[in-house]
Amino acid sequence: MPSWWCFLFTRESMMKRFVLVVNAVLLAAGLVSGCGSDGKAGKDGVLCSVAQNTDGSATISCDDGSSVTVTGGVGEQGPAGDPGVAGATGDTGAVGDPGVAGVPGDPGTPGESCGAVDNNDGTYTITCGTDVVTLGDGTSCTVVENGNETVTITCEDGTTTTFSAPKAESQFKLTLVIENLVFGIDASGFVTATFDVTDGTLPVTGLTNAASTLYLAGLVEGANGDADQWQYWTGVDDTTLVEGPPGTYLLTSNKLDTDVPANTTTQRGVARIALAGYNTVVSTYDFLLTAPETPIAAGKDVVNDASCKSCHGFGVTIHGYGRNNTKVCVVCHSPNYNADIAAHEADMVTMVHQIHTNKADTFGALHVSGHGENWPTLRFPGTILNCAKCHNTVAEADNWNAKPTMAACDSCHTTIAFDGSAYTGISGLPGYLHSQTTNANCLGCHDATAIAGFHVPAVNDDASQRLVEANITGVVVDANGGVTVSFSVTESGVAKTNVTAAGTSFTLAKLVPATAGTPSYWQSYLSKVRTKGATSAPVIQGRTEEATDGGILTNNNDGTYTYKFKLLNADTFNADTTGDIRSIAHAQNVSAGSIDDNYRPGALPNMMFPVAYEPTLTHRVAIILSGIKTNAFLDFVPAGNTAQTRNIVSRAACNKCHGDSKLHKGFAVELCVGCHNQNSFDPFSGPDGLGVLTAADTAPAGTSSVELERIVHKIHMGKDLEKGFVLNGSHDYSDLQFPRGVPTDSRTPNASDCKACHDESNAAMTEAGNWQIGTRACGSCHDGDLPQAHIAANTVNGVSTCALCHSPGGVVPVAAAHGFAE
């Protein structure tokens, strides 16, 4: 510590009493008084402070304004003091704002594809890029992922080859979002749009070179019964996109506000951004030119775009997914747009109705890419009478019945004549003669109530009309193998006491557990034999058990019931004594219809088909009742364990396109799997040349399984199958067009959007192993020779090795191959 440390003193007392030494340099001497009387008291002391200067000196400053600077040496430094106690850790600071998203990188280089060539000598040559391996016909091979982006194929004939196998890049595109869209008019009178672009969370910057478009249309209000129609007035591809604050953009049109179409008040602006690696995004904004900065309610809002997307997914593929909102479609697809739209009936009303009613045969000429080639063969997957499927919840959703026009009615009722001439109407009946030249009098005869009354779906297509509901309360397997189900029934919420055997039937199946590389599957206890070919052997079909066919239905007269299954086994088929689930050995026949050769109607044998009873496995009972809203089911384990089920598709997912229509025999997927399982075959697919089979013979396998996962995948794959698909003799699905897909193919939809059905709405669906990997399901879509050979080569002794490459994190995971996110 410096020797000139702070102190207090007075000049007067210093002369009389003190000697001050500062660092042995400053010396002050006081006069020593004699022994006389004391002098007068000095003045009060003054408070001073000392400040150390950077040059080693110190300045003493006092309260009376005086100061002095002194210099001197520094005394010997004392020893270091002990460290003080550590202070408490301060609070964590706030997280900083996220950085601005960068411009997307260029797409990765596509991986190499492989090809297989039959050498016609019992071998195949597989080529992947520059890697080649030759395999013997029927050779079993195993595939091992080495963890370094290579895969080694080792075959039983000793062939071993290692391929380069970089991980597949998903084609899934990121999402752009246009937010805070506002239209305006600049100082020069041009219409402008200002908006933010994000990736859903963060701003996206640097888009000034992105393909962008600004569209404008005005709404011409209908008069004399006519519908309102949009009048297009510009669509300018951007050369003026300017970024202001990061992620905020200004787009200027090529039109002045004075260019507005005549007779329009409501205007619609559309901003569109297209960028490699992102889905094209559009946003609409309705406004008045007198106050463009204030949005107004959408004009002519008759279709709920969300309803379209429930079936079509991201959007229809026309224009490369670039106009995926009905509010955008109508800007161009209006009879006011140009002569081509009118000539080809491509206004929105006519075009959409005719596409969905299979009457669109003139639209192909609109686009050189031939979008219309499959439209005449499209099949609407629900009931076309359900107008509310598309027309719902929005402001003018009831226009279809409250504001009829000739164009709207004629778009479905295409044979109608408005000039008074005769025509053939619905169901081939003569049409009512009309002589109308305008829409002014439509409502006079066809009011909203009448129109709605003629467009009511059938009961089987409309759950709101089905008032019967059932609940299965329990299933008991008794000591003799008898199976009895207990259930209750209500109608309009009231106990229903008049259920009869007629119209009542059940399924009964067990869940066979998954094995290595093979998912679990259901197997029916109620199979029967059937054929529809005169010389084709009868094959097994999963069937329901009709309550009129020997089982025992007991009515407790309070809305509750029991049913004891008849079951089919080696003894007499009588539910009272011998219906025994433990000894299923025979499959009863089903009448074959028009057969007049080896297998005549009523002459099919009760062939052998054992089904092992396994009481520790999950079992399922499902019920069919006349007028039932949806099929009730119950999963149970006869031994009392907890049921481990397999519900990987919900009916809610089917309803996105099919509505709540009856599909074949029922309404619930949980019912369908009771019949449509691995041991159920197309009745036309029995093998020929086996002669007349007897009851002692085991029913042969057919060549075409009707397992649910196989037929559903094939039906929905439709025209994208390499080999097509015909079911039940005459149902040809080879030209069916799946209505949705992921936006990796800008030309046509495709069935690659697995999550459209596997929507992960329950726990079983969230487990990728339940649905992402399975040779039966995958092979249903990938039906060509090469993928089928690939599947066969990677299945050894019934064990599939698909998961080695196609599981999440593998070389080619299912999600990446199909173009959607994990």
Q: Would you say residue 397 has pLDDT above 90?
A: yes
SS3 763: helix
The domain limits of the chain are 11-70, 174-337, 459-645+660-702
Where are the extended beta strands (E) located within 53-188?
58-62, 67-70, 114-118, 123-128, 131-136, 141-145, 150-155, 160-164, 174-175, 177-185
SS3 793: helix
Contact 314/321 with Cβ under 8 angstroms? yes
What is the pLDDT, as a whole number, of residue 24? 33
Q: Would you say residue 190 has pLDDT above 50?
A: yes
Structure tokens at 161: 């080859």
**Chain centroid to CA 791:** 27
Q: Fold for domain 174-337? A: Immunoglobulin-like (2.60.40)
Q: Would you say residue 547 has pLDDT above 70?
A: yes
What is the pLDDT, as a whole number, of residue 487? 99
What is the pLDDT, as a whole number, of residue 748? 55
What is the pLDDT, as a whole number, of residue 341? 82
Q: Tell me the mean pLDDT in the region 147-155.
A: 67
Residue 438: pLDDT band by 50, 70, 90 thresholds? very high
What is the pLDDT, as a whole number, of residue 218? 98
Q: Tell me the mean pLDDT in the region 18-38.
A: 36
Q: Would you say residue 165 has pLDDT above 60?
A: no
Q: CA-to-CA distance for 564 and 582, rounded, in angstroms?
A: 15
What is the pLDDT, as a whole number, of residue 26? 35
Lowest mean pLDDT of 86-90, 211-215, 291-295, 757-761, name the range. Answer: 86-90
Mean pLDDT of the chain: 80
pLDDT digits (tens, 9 = 90+) for 738-785: 888 765 544 456 677 888 888 766 565 555 555 556 788 889 999 999
* Top mean-pLDDT range of 60-74, 251-265, 421-435: 251-265
Q: Tell me the mean pLDDT in the region 164-187.
A: 75
What is the pLDDT, as a whole number, of residue 222? 95
Q: CA-to-CA distance for 675 and 680, rounded, in angstroms?
A: 7
What is the pLDDT, as a whole number, of residue 646? 82
Adjacent-strand bridge partners of 818: none
Residue 170: pLDDT band by 50, 70, 90 thresholds? very low
Q: CA-to-CA distance for 315 and 330, rounded, in angstroms?
A: 14
Q: Would you say residue 265 has pLDDT above 80?
A: yes
What is the pLDDT, as a whole number, of residue 7? 32
Residues ≥6 apart with Cβ < 8 Å to 230: 217, 218, 219, 220, 268, 299, 300, 330, 331, 334, 336
Q: Tell me the mean pLDDT in the region 201-209.
A: 91
Q: Which residue has the tokens 């229903």?
A: 496
Residues written for the chain: 822
Q: Would you say residue 80 has pLDDT above 80?
A: no
Q: Would you say residue 590 has pLDDT above 60?
A: yes
Lowest mean pLDDT of 39-43, 167-171, 560-564, 743-747, name the range. Answer: 167-171
* Top mean-pLDDT range of 225-234, 360-369, 758-767: 225-234
* Top mean-pLDDT range of 274-288, 428-442, 662-676, 734-748: 662-676
Where are the extended beta strands (E) located within 165-290?
174-175, 177-185, 190-198, 211-220, 229-237, 242-243, 248-256, 264-274, 278-279, 281-288
Q: Tell me the mean pLDDT in the region 161-165.
A: 62
What is the pLDDT, as a whole number, of residue 719? 86
What is the pLDDT, as a whole number, of residue 814? 83
What is the pLDDT, as a whole number, of residue 11? 36
Q: CA-to-CA distance for 702 and 18, rounded, in angstroms?
A: 125
Q: CA-to-CA distance for 90 and 656, rounded, in angstroms?
A: 55
Q: Would you say residue 200 has pLDDT above 50?
A: yes
What is the pLDDT, as a whole number, of residue 493? 97
SS3 505: strand
Q: Which residue has the higher pLDDT, 128 or 295?
A: 295
Q: Would you say residue 322 has pLDDT above 80?
A: no
Residue 129: pLDDT band by 50, 70, 90 thresholds? low
Percent over 90 (pLDDT), the chain: 43
Q: Would you say residue 813 has pLDDT above 90?
A: no
What is the pLDDT, as a whole number, of residue 61? 77
Lowest mean pLDDT of 112-126, 270-284, 503-517, 687-701, name the range. Answer: 112-126
Stated as kind and residue range, the H or E segment containing 379 is none
Q: Which residue has the higher pLDDT, 362 or 185?
A: 185
Q: Tell me the mean pLDDT in the region 16-38.
A: 36
Lowest mean pLDDT of 215-219, 330-334, 363-367, 472-476, name the range. Answer: 363-367
What is the pLDDT, as a whole number, of residue 39? 46
Q: Tell me the mean pLDDT in the region 242-254.
A: 95
Q: CA-to-CA distance for 612 and 438, rounded, in angstroms?
A: 71
Adjacent-strand bridge partners of 216: 234, 269
What is the pLDDT, as a whole number, of residue 295? 98
Contact 233/269 with Cβ under 8 angstroms? no
Strands 264-274 and 539-541, sheet pairing: unpaired
Tally Cβ neighbours within 10 Å of residue 204.
25
Which phi and psi (to 5°) does residue 388 adopt? -70, -5
Residue 621: pLDDT band by 50, 70, 90 thresholds? very high
Give helix 651-658 / helix 305-312 axis angle, nearest 10°: 120
Q: Would you say residue 416 has pLDDT above 80?
A: yes
Contact 381/654 with Cβ under 8 angstroms? no
What is the pLDDT, as a whole number, of residue 215? 95
